[in-house]
């Protein structure tokens, strides 16, 4: 099985190692020149639903429940954490190393964003934010901008987008399972 000891150690990685320049851009308007994901989904109602969803998200369990293999430098997402995500059989899996670029840790809003590191098939950033609204609803927002990081992902354009859509749907289902 392929291992990524340098990536998951977190040592020596910083924003300068990301494969795109617009660090933290998922906080605002999504950038032109990239493919976008912008999904908002109701997860449930009440404080317990919010706490459960944010725990599942921030401890990488959403990714695991979505069928990804997760190797992370820390048990929870925090700025500077490095995570290597892979999908598929170990001998055929495509690795996607990422660096957590920011977190949101407000009383009613929690989440994080990670950006792509060298070796990821895409170049860009993805954010996951869970919000507990004043009326008690719990919402998930997944926002991303990305473009192919090499020839193979570029040539696989439509397939790459289908995989991204499938994984996004799996993320949503993983958190909806907490209801």
Quote the CA–CA distance of 33 and 58 in Å, as a whole number: 29
pTM of the model: 0.86
CATH for 33-67+103-176 is: 3.30.530.20
pLDDT in tens, 19-29: 888 888 999 88
- Residue 49 phi, psi (nearest 5): -65, -40
* C-alpha distance from residue 112 to each of 87, 90, 159 (Å): 21, 27, 26
Tell me how far CA of residue 177 lies from CA of 30, 122, 149, in angstroms: 28, 28, 33
Q: For the segment 40-55, what is each residue's pLDDT rounded down to a tens digit?
A: 999 999 999 999 999 9
User: Bridge-partner residues for 5, per DSSP?
Assistant: none
Domain boundaries, the chain: 33-67+103-176
């Amino acid at each position: 099985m392929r291992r990524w000891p340098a990536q998951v150690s977190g040592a020596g990685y910083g924003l300068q190692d990301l494969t795109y320049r617009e660090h933290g851009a998922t906080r605002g308007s999504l950038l032109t020149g990239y493919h976008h994901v912008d999904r908002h989904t109701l997860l449930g109602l009440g404080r317990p639903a919010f706490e459960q969803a944010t725990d599942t998200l921030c401890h990488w369990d959403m990714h695991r429940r979505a069928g990804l293999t997760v190797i992370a430098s820390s048990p929870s997402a925090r700025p500077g954490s490095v995570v290597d995500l892979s999908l598929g059989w170990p001998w055929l899996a495509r690795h996607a190393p990422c660096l957590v670029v920011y977190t949101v840790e407000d009383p009613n809003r929690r989440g994080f964003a990670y950006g792509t590191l060298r070796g990821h098939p895409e170049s860009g950033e993805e954010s996951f934010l869970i919000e507990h609204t004043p009326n008690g609803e719990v919402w998930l927002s997944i926002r991303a901008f990305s473009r192919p990081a090499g020839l193979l992902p570029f040539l696989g354009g439509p397939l790459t987008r289908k995989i991204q859509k499938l994984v996004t749907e799996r993320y949503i289902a993983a958190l909806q399972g907490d209801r």
